[in-house]
Amino acid sequence: MTTLDTLSHWRLDRDPDGLAWLTFDRAGSAVNALSADTMAELSVVLDALDADPPKGLIIQSGKATGFIVGADVNEFATLDTPEQARGLVSRGWNLMNRLAGVRYPTLALIQGHCLGGGLELALACRYRLVADQPGASLALPEVMLGIFPGWGGMLRLPQVIGAPAALDMMLTGRGADARRAASLGLVDARVPPRLLLAAARQTVLSRKPARRARGLGGLLNRWPFKAIVANRARKQIAAKDPLGHYPAAPAIVEIWEKHGGNALKAPDLIDRIISSGTARNLLRVFRLQERLKANGKQPGVAPARHVHVVGAGVMGGDIAAWCALKGMTVTLQDQEMSRIAPAIKRAAELYARRLKDPRLARAAFDRLVPDPAGGGVPLADVIIEAISEQPDAKRALYQSLEPRMKPDALLATNTSSLSLETLREGLARPDRLVGIHFFNPVAKMPLVEVVHADGGDPAIEARACAFVGQIDKLALPVKSAPGFLVNAVLAPYMLQAMRSVDDGVAPETVDAAMVAFGMPMGPLELADTVGLDIARDAGAQLADGAAPPRCLADRLARNELGKKSGKGFYTWRDGKPVKQRDPAAAPAGLAQRLIQPLIDATRQRVSSGIVADADLADAGVIFGTGFAPFTGGPLHYEDGSTQQHRSTAARAE
């Protein structure tokens, strides 16, 4: 029998003021996650506190990694029957209700991540305080796993912050930092870390009422306004996901509207959502993401402090801005200040948008230093070259950089297509050159390809992966080859779309078919965004001498390069393509014909060893291209039920 003295994951202390301090420190794990055994122990703690009630209970984390990252997702993978799924929901719902109903005041002391079941536990407390520091994130991201927050989140979050804001959080999975959490009313206050313990004590002893949404936000939780909010949410969901690839979102709305946030009153929804193919595939995507994150954690590799970027164009400037955002000192080099100035302006806009706090934005801006003379080269731990795709120019630059670099500095190229074997010719230490290939836009695209060549130093690759992890990107190791992985699979996909235009299909029809399939953007809009000249060059490397599609050649002859020239497959206005409102119906089989070259190219990259295995290839294509996550990735999609995946493509037409 488990007692307070035999707990493995929780520690209960009482202070002279009569307050109980409960510390969650899950044994054998770097993070706190709520599992069957940790929740059973929490129930034991509540039993003891029922027998001897404290003046108040403060729940805190014993982990430096944050408060609670959510439920243990591994337990979802073992759900084989509807009864098991309902049991998992019931366990969490009943425990959180029990915590919410205790006679003494309770407080969640939040530092770092407070996600999923962790936020549901915090919502079950009367009070919440959050440490006012970078890294705080409060979210209910279950929808991103194809499920719903069934442990009380759908009940309590709307009560605390109002229905519109709560539905936005639950339907997008987006998190709130400390500042936004306070402004939403999700927490009672954001507090400097040094004052957290005193603030927690004072708040609990105050015995003030729990926060509740007021005004319109609270009113919209009631009938008949609740139905209006729900219908509006359904329309927004349908606009983003017309074919219903992601059923968890409408389920959240229905459970909130019709069942008071209690999923146990809708057992059919529990069965349908948790056992769905979408939930299984999104859980797979989550695990793939964790595998990529693990590539960025290299034991023993010292963090980079100073990054020097050569080339202040769109890619180089945005790479520099991102590294400064992530806390590094960055020097940005180009031939003259006039070339650096636009990158500095974009960086200022990024910091204002991302950081909100003017002080933090100013600090990031101060870390980004224009450096036309290259004075940062001898100081840099990592040097990233991001100049034009001209091998001779890149090699000449390396020869000027190498003698000035620190002996242990990392030399990286952001080339999107050139082989490392070609670029490292002439280097005194050719093994030190590695590819660190970002995607545009840098601030939005999570994947970075870490490119290595035969004869490269594995320690250099490990350091490159660690650097990618340090700047909160996902590192995908790939071998040097034309297009690496992502561009190599995108090129035949975009070319096939262009050949459909040659066959008389309107660009809007092509793109609409693939958006309906589940892609974030159609292939022709993507080609316009990338640049038709770049699409031509990428395609030429992989087309085995085949002539480019006629529609591409015609546009290039007219110097219509896509978004950057204002016209390509679409006319671009204010950064957006102008499209026909009601495109013609897609020809039968169009979506499958378009996606098949991408699938084939992905499989070829695995068989040729460019990427280590099929799972990593799926991860790279999902996070590098936005390939429909509900499918689990292109190879998983094709290897799954043939009938199911053909039906997905057919429904897109």
Looking at the DSSP bridge assignments, the partners of residue 526 are none
Could you tell me which residues come within 8 angstroms of residue 4 by beta carbon, excluding any fewer than 6 positions away? 12, 44, 45, 48
Task: End-to-end CA distance of the chain: give it in Å, rounded.
Answer: 59
Residue recorded with tokens 């020239």? 565
SS3 state at 519: coil
Q: Which of 219, 170, 204, 154 is CA-nearest to residue 20?
A: 204
Looking at the DSSP bridge assignments, the partners of residue 489 are none
SS3 state at 309: strand
Judge whether 142 counts as a catalytic residue.
yes
Dist CA 303 CA 289 (whole Å):
21
Q: Which of 639, 609, 607, 611 is CA-nearest to residue 623?
A: 611
Judge whether 120 counts as a catalytic residue.
yes
Q: Which of 46, 8, 45 is CA-nearest to residue 29?
A: 8
Q: What Å distances lie between residue 165 and 81, 154, 162, CA to CA?
A: 34, 12, 6
Set 120, 257, 461, 525: catalytic member:
120
Set 41, 142, 402, 461: catalytic member:
142
Per DSSP, the chain holds a count of helices (H) and strands (E) of 27, 19
Could you tell me which residues come within 8 angstroms of residue 237 by beta carbon, excluding any fewer than 6 positions away? 171, 249, 250, 253
| Whether the Cβ atoms of residue 483 and residue 611 lie closer than 8 Å to each other | no
| Whether the Cβ atoms of residue 114 and residue 137 lie closer than 8 Å to each other | yes
Helical residues (DSSP H) of 243-334, grouped into ranges? 248-259, 267-274, 277-295, 314-325
DSSP string, 588-606: TTHHHHHHHHHHHHHHHHH
Dist CA 607 CA 613 (whole Å):
8
| Whether the Cβ atoms of residue 510 and residue 524 lie closer than 8 Å to each other | yes
Active-site positions read 120, 142
